[in-house]
Amino acid sequence: MEESFVKTIEFIRKLYNKPEGFVALHEPTFSGNEKKYLAECIDSTFVSSVGKFVDEFEIKVANYTGAKKAVVCVNGTNALHLALTMLGVERDTEVITQPLTFIATANAIAYCGAKPVFVDVEKETLGLSPQALRAWLGQNVELKANKAYNIATGRRVSACVPMHTFGHPCKIDEIAEICNEYCIHLIEDAAESLGSFYKEKHTGTFGEIGVLSFNGNKIITTGGGGMLLFNDVDLAAKAKHLTTQAKVPHPWEFVHDEIGYNYRMPNLNAALGLAQIEQIDTFLKSKRQTAQHYNEFFAEIAGISFLNEPANAQSNYWLNCVILASKTERDAFLKYSNENGVMTRPAWTLMNKLPMFSGCTTGNLENAERIEERLVNIPSSVFDSK
């Protein structure tokens, strides 16, 4: 396999025009109005949680995704926590999610005192499998007064949080239908999938609440930040209230009508985000071109398969993925690429294998385990247009 590894690293260096030096996994690109808007924000002195850039950023992303309303947060993890809280996820309830995900998904569930239940993913989407979800619910859950309960534990199943893994949409319409049948709230972890569409509808707009992330390595960044997407404007207004410490609007008095959170995104970060979302189409075009180059290259490389977007989907190709023949080959490729200055990384350790979630309920995780052992992310940065 070493010949394949050598050819792959040579190709990646040629693709990114970096014959020497370090090739990052996913660098941000600042080629638009970032410096202009940041300077304007600083000059206005409104650098904290109030200012025009917060409002404009929310409107711009809502319009782009097709959501009726968007509410910014300080990061994607906070956004997930708030979404779960708002939909009634309480201590000692259960939340279904996938084991192949970033730790934030499971942590946000734990913040509510709830228990994650890990159900398998699909090979082609890397996201929660509708078939596995329906099978687990059919075997383990009963409905009482329009609420789902785990027969074995007696706990209410309060929500389901599928994730659009590495920007590839899962079969979210099927998942939504199943959740509706079982009276389970649906929250989409779309942290990685801004710019991804399933059946011509943007990810994060199928569930009751969708969550985006704008971390430094995401397709657009605010440095650190997140956002909630809503189809219900009243629910969005509630979220805005809670993110601002549940402060009742008043010119000078400090009155708070419930427990709130300091989850506000600063205007300074939103200024960066506004400049970034203005370039989203350019970023997506570059990433699709990169994915096409990879697809053509790996078609000729033995033992390494490129993961294309699923059927009925338009992926943002946030992080490009390849699948190796075995865990041994995966480990050898990771070692070779990183030792030769090209950053690659494996999929996350499955959540149920981490000590704090090792006792959680799981379904059959055959697909997730296979993907964990064989998947590698390869450099996926946007080409700077300048």
21 is a domain residue: yes
Whether 7 and 63 map to the same domain: the answer is no
Residue 220 is predicted with a pLDDT of 98
3-state helix, strand, coil in the chain (%, to 5): 40, 20, 40
Q: What is the pTM of this model?
A: 0.96
Q: Which residues pair with 345 in a beta bridge?
A: 377
146 is a domain residue: yes
Whether 225 and 335 map to the same domain: the answer is no
307 is a domain residue: yes
Which stretches of the chain score pLDDT less than 50?
A: 385-386
Residue 383 is predicted with a pLDDT of 79
Host domain of residue 76: 34-277
Whether 17 and 55 map to the same domain: the answer is no
* Domain containing residue 195: CATH number: 3.40.640.10
Residue 384 is predicted with a pLDDT of 62
* Domain containing residue 358: CATH number: 3.90.1150.10
Residue 2 is predicted with a pLDDT of 86
384 is a domain residue: no
Whether 85 and 193 map to the same domain: the answer is yes
Whether 25 and 166 map to the same domain: the answer is no
- Tell me how far the alpha carbon of residue 9 is from its chain's centroid: 27
Whether 314 and 335 map to the same domain: the answer is yes
Whether 273 and 150 map to the same domain: the answer is yes
Domain end, chosen from 216, 242, 277, is at: 277
57 is a domain residue: yes
Domain end, chosen from 277, 310, 344, is at: 277
Residue 1 is predicted with a pLDDT of 65
Whether 26 and 132 map to the same domain: the answer is no
**Which pairs count as long-range contacts for 363-367, CB under 8 Å and 24+ apart, including other chains?**
363/117, 363/118, 363/119, 363/120, 363/132, 363/135, 363/136, 364/120, 364/132, 365/99, 365/118, 365/120, 366/120, 367/120, 367/121, 367/122, 367/123, 367/129, 367/132
354 is a domain residue: yes
CA 89 to CA 29: how far, in whole Å?
37
Whether 302 and 266 map to the same domain: the answer is no
318 is a domain residue: yes
386 is a domain residue: no
Count up the domains in the chain and report the number. 2
Whether 158 and 271 map to the same domain: the answer is yes
Domain end, chosen from 244, 277, 310, is at: 277
Whether 38 and 116 map to the same domain: the answer is yes
Whether 309 and 268 map to the same domain: the answer is no
Residue 385 is predicted with a pLDDT of 46
